[in-house]
Structure 1
Amino acid sequence: MPRFFARHAATLFFPMALILYDFAAYLSTDLIQPGIINVVRDFNADVSLAPAAVSLYLAGGMALQWLLGPLSDRIGRRPVLITGALIFTLACAATMFTTSMTQFLI
């Protein structure tokens, strides 16, 4: 069995990375829901803005589907996934520097 994995490591790497990427997308949705209350409290914002953060996060993902599908057909899945993961990482890092709930929602 170890020979099989050694021989097919390159073939198995991309599907496993794709599964991990997909899992991270679902995990991020589950992590933002309990943490958003702390964000609202830290910014002294109205609690009614908490659902807006989750809704905007999901709407952003939904709005890009019409663009990313044809784009991945044209240039390939890997560049689209890598670029998306990079943008997601940079956007998450940018939230550390927000000073208001409005900046956080944007």
Structure 2
Amino acid sequence: MKIVVEGASKLDSSYGFVNVRLAMALDSLGHEVTLSPWDQSVDSCGKAIAEAYPSSTGLSITTADRIDSDVRIRQIWPPVWSRPRDDSRLVVIQPWEFGSVPLS
């Protein structure tokens, strides 16, 4: 399955840490995974991941709108609800970190 994980990617933020680790986990399961950073350049993201995880398997990092995918997983603050340009399915991860979950 072709999967794009897009959004935050800086390892010093909770969203970025989760996105990078999610992309790495999906990659290790045999999926064709691309990480698309929205908060830093592709080069900066690649260098940070290589430094933090020297044994990583060379995760693909690029601008997401340049590739087709089956699924796009997105996590960033503030949330972006726009649909992808391709026909991929969109999964938005939106954790609630500010007090109790709203009732409605």
TM-score by length of 2: 0.26
Q: Higher relative CO (CA 8 A, sep ≥ 6), structure 1 or 2?
A: 2
Question: Which structure has the highest helix share of the two?
Answer: 1
TM-score by length of 1: 0.26
Larger Rg: 1
